Structure 1
Amino acid sequence: MNRSILKLAIPNIISNITIPLLGLVDLALMGHLDSDVYIGAIALGGVIFNFIYWGFSFLRMSTSGFTAQAFGEKNKAESITILIRALLLTGIISMGILLFQAPIAWASFEVIGGSPEVESLANEYFRIRVWAAPAALSLFVFSGWFLGMQNARYPMIIAIAVNVVNIILSVFFVFVLHMNSNGVALGTAISQYIGLGTAIVLLLKKYRPLISKVTKAGIIDVKFMSSFFKVNSDIFIRTLCIIIVFTFFTSKSASQNDTILAVNSILIQFLMFFSFFIDGFAFAGEALVGKFIGAKQIVNLQRVVKLLLYWGVVLAIGFTLIYLTGLNTILKLLTSQNNVIDAAQPYLFWIILVPIASIGSFVWDGIYIGATASRPMRNSLLFATFLIFAPIYYFLYPLWHNHSLWLGMLLFMFMRGLILAILYRNTILKPLQQSF
């Protein structure tokens, strides 16, 4: 069982750590141009796409869970049909994004703001990169589907291909064709379509025989579509809560002063860095939990849940020790500004608590996604957002100031995992035991 977990987790970890590498390369490219407005342009434009794609990440999650269950049932026709249904939904969503790109851009810049020059460049960046939306969202679906089919290697190959091509094209467009921030946008757009092409090739290479099993009646299965949309709507609300919390965190950091904004922006990266690793085990949970539910193997389901939590604890302890002993060293690698480093000192103990506080939120998310138990996920996020994070900030800010933001963030992450752990027996185990 441990081998199965690591076989799925390690490729996903490798896929995850390629993401920040690309962001660093884009920033480095813009940082070597003759003005800092280009950095602002891709940062501003990138925020918009982060919101769009994060908001539609339910496409990957629901596809992964449903596919894993069909895989466990050995229902090949349903497995491939889930992919087709998800891609059709993706096509509709993508068409909406392209048709309404002008109002999306206007509303985004109204909320985010920026200097006129930066906003103008960011708008150009957005208008180029938005045409990659069909490919980017389709890659969510393919990644979720491959994972549900217990294949973490293909998403890793796709992620590496997309990021390598993106880096090469961005360097070419920026330094050879002198396209500045527009070059980064074009490089990103083209690389997404190359990634989509790679996904299709890999699909045909290994899963071509399944395609003949797709039928029109299967695609428009009303019962399944009702369940699919229900799960997607729950996951969308869950994701929206996460977006609200992290946006609020950044907004309230900025409202204090520029130094605190810089401090919190850097320190929150330690949570993100931990997430790149722990998410590998969460993704393994999606695949294995879904498979064992589909195969009606309760004993294996319980065993894999325990092992996932075990691996999560091991990883959290490792990161806690790294943060405990090397936090300032890592901080100095992220910034050379002494005033920011000094201002960060009072808040470093929150970072040491990050791995232990957040482990459950990641691992249990993967377990619940594999079980397609979306309602408890939604409810846990609503509770943690509006009854934990928000009250802590508003009640404690007059006394604790920035510490109230960090306490709210850590308890937000902790309560998500705790609530799902408490609900596990009644919302996943018992219903399965009764249905089997």
Structure 2
Amino acid sequence: MNRRILHLAIPSIVSNITVPLLGLVDVTIVGHLGATAYIGAIAVGGLLFNILYWNFGFLRMGTSGLTSQAYGRKDKDAEIRILVQAVSVGLFSALAMLILQYPIERLAFRLLDTSAEVEQYTVTYFRICIWGAPAVLAQYGFTGWFIGMQNSRYPMYIAIVMNVINIVCSSCFVFLFGMKVEGVALGTVVAQYSGVMMALGLWFYNYKELWGRMTFKGSLQLIAMRRFFAVNRDIFLRTLCLIGVTTFFTSTGARQGDVILAVNTLLMQLFTLFSYIMDGFAYAGEALSGRYVGACNLIQLKRAVRALFGWGVGLSLVFTLLYGVGGENFLGLLTNDKIVIETAGHYFYWVLAIPLAGFAAFLWDGILIGATATRFMLWSMLVASGSFFVIYYCFSGATNNHMLWLAFLVYLALRGGMQTLWSRRVFTLEYLQRLRS
């Protein structure tokens, strides 16, 4: 079982680590153009698209769970039907984004406080990158489908190739053709379409026998789409809660001054690093739990969960030790501002608690997505998010950064704890048989 987990988790971890490289490459290139407004435009534009696309994460997660169940019960017709549904919903959503791009743009700049120069360059970046939406959202469907088919290597290959193409194209457009922000945006779009074309190519290479089973009419009928939307509705609402907590955490730190904002941003990098690793194991949980739920194999499902939590506990202890020994030195690599580093020391012990408080939430998210028990995941997120705000406002006086971190840790721990309790309803033969029927 451990070998199966690592076979799925390691490529997913590599893919996760490469994701921020797309934005990092863009910032690095414009950082050599001589104007700070270019860097601000890429940062704001990247934030805007992260928020925009984050709302469509259900296309990857829901597709993974449904596909892995179809794989487990050896239902080839369902496998191809789910891919058609995911890609079609992605393309329809992208079309809506393209039609509504101007209202989205104006709403974004009502919420974002930027200088006129940064806004001008960000608008240029946005109006080019928005045309990559069909490629991005279609690729979400392919990525979830590949993981559901127990194949996390293909998404890794695609992510690596996209980064290489982005580096080459953006550099050429900027340094050879004299473009500025528009060159970086165009390079990103080229990389995104290259990624979805590669996904299509890999699909035809390894799964072309499913082509004859593809029926668009049958896949997109209301009855066929009902379960797809039921699962993804829960994931979408859960994602909104996640965005709400994350955005509030950042904005509340900003209200406490530039130093606290910088401290929280740096400390959250340690959480982000841990999340990249745990998300890889969560993806393995999606694939394996869905597979065994689809096969109605309760014994193997419980074995997979025990093995995943063994890795979760072990990695959490390792990260706690690493952060305790070298975490403050890591902060020194991110900034040389002595005031920020000194202030971060007053809050660093909160970061030490993150791995053990948060690993269960990551793993259960993956397991429950695979089991399509997404309603339990949504309920736990609603309770945990509500607790986050209650703790902060009731005990902090709305100015205490320690209480902000405590609320965040309770939020993580509650998600994992509540999902542990509710998971007992999933690990029953009756539940598996009900899904199979």
TM over 0.5: yes
Worse overlay, 257-266 or 30-39:
30-39
1:337-352 → structure 2 map (5 Å cutoff) = 337-352=337-352
After TM superposition, give the deviation of residue 102 of structure 1 in Å. Answer: 0.2
Amino acid at match of 1:161: V
Amino acid at match of 2:231: V
Q: Which residue of 2 aligns with 1:219?
A: 219
Structure 1 residues 47 and 431: alpha-carbon distance in aligned structure 2, compared to 1, 3 A threshold: farther
Percent identical among aligned pairs is 48
TM-score by length of 1: 0.97
After TM superposition, give the deviation of residue 342 of structure 1 in Å. Answer: 1.3
Worse overlay, 16-25 or 45-54:
16-25
Structure 1 residues 176 and 295: alpha-carbon distance in aligned structure 2, compared to 1, 3 A threshold: same
Give the 3-state SS of the residue equivalent to 1:302 in structure 2.
Answer: helix
1:65-76 → structure 2 map (5 Å cutoff) = 65-76=65-76
Distance 1:338 1:252 in 2: 22
Amino acid at match of 2:111: V
Q: Which residue of 1 aligns with 2:232?
A: 232
Distance 2:309 2:100 in 1: 43
The CA deviation string for residues 139-185 of structure 1, in whole angstroms up to 9 with x for no partner, is 11000000000111111111111111112212222222232222221
Distance 1:59 1:363 in 2: 19
Q: Which residue of 2 aligns with 1:294?
A: 294
Amino acid at match of 1:424: S
After TM superposition, give the deviation of residue 374 of structure 1 in Å. Answer: 1.1
Q: Which residue of 2 aligns with 1:246?
A: 246
Q: What stretches of structure 1 of length at least 5 have no aligned partner?
A: none
Worse overlay, 111-120 or 126-135:
111-120
Distance 2:156 2:130 in 1: 24
Q: Which residue of 2 aligns with 1:188?
A: 188
Give the 3-state SS of the residue equivalent to 1:212 in structure 2.
Answer: helix
Distance 1:278 1:10 in 2: 10
After TM superposition, give the deviation of residue 79 of structure 1 in Å. Answer: 0.2
After TM superposition, give the deviation of residue 428 of structure 1 in Å. Answer: 4.6
Give the 3-state SS of the residue equivalent to 1:32 in structure 2.
Answer: coil
After TM superposition, give the deviation of residue 221 of structure 1 in Å. Answer: 4.6
Contact 2:293 2:432 (8 Å CA) reproduced: no
Q: Which residue of 2 aligns with 1:80?
A: 80
Distance 1:363 1:282 in 2: 5
The CA deviation string for residues 304-362 of structure 1, in whole angstroms up to 9 with x for no partner, is 01111111111111111110000111000111111211121101101111111110110
Give the 3-state SS of the residue equivalent to 1:138 in structure 2.
Answer: helix
The CA deviation string for residues 51-70 of structure 1, in whole angstroms up to 9 with x for no partner, is 11110000000100000000
Distance 1:13 1:399 in 2: 36
Q: What stretches of structure 2 of length at least 5 have no aligned partner?
A: none
Distance 1:249 1:399 in 2: 12
After TM superposition, give the deviation of residue 398 of structure 1 in Å. Answer: 2.4
Contact 2:296 2:432 (8 Å CA) reproduced: no
After TM superposition, give the deviation of residue 45 of structure 1 in Å. Answer: 0.7
After TM superposition, give the deviation of residue 259 of structure 1 in Å. Answer: 1.0
The alignment status of 1:260 with 2:260, answered yes or no, reads yes
Distance 2:239 2:141 in 1: 16
1:15-414 → structure 2 map (5 Å cutoff) = 15-216=15-216, 218-386=218-386, 388-398=387-397, 401-414=400-413
Contact 1:373 1:428 (8 Å CA) reproduced: no
The CA deviation string for residues 266-288 of structure 1, in whole angstroms up to 9 with x for no partner, is 11111111011111110000001
Structure 1 residues 116 and 216: alpha-carbon distance in aligned structure 2, compared to 1, 3 A threshold: closer
Distance 1:112 1:428 in 2: 45
Contact 2:12 2:156 (8 Å CA) reproduced: yes
Distance 1:32 1:263 in 2: 26
Give the 3-state SS of the residue equivalent to 1:33 in structure 2.
Answer: coil
Q: Which residue of 1 aligns with 2:428?
A: 429
Contact 1:371 1:428 (8 Å CA) reproduced: no
The CA deviation string for residues 239-266 of structure 1, in whole angstroms up to 9 with x for no partner, is 0000000100111111110111111111
Report the count of equivalent residues.
435
Contact 2:55 2:240 (8 Å CA) reproduced: yes
Give the 3-state SS of the residue equivalent to 2:178 in structure 1.
Answer: coil
Distance 2:78 2:277 in 1: 31
Please tell me the root mean square deviation across aligned C-alpha atoms, in Å.
1.4
After TM superposition, give the deviation of residue 399 of structure 1 in Å. Answer: 8.4
Contact 1:376 1:427 (8 Å CA) reproduced: no
TM-score by length of 2: 0.97
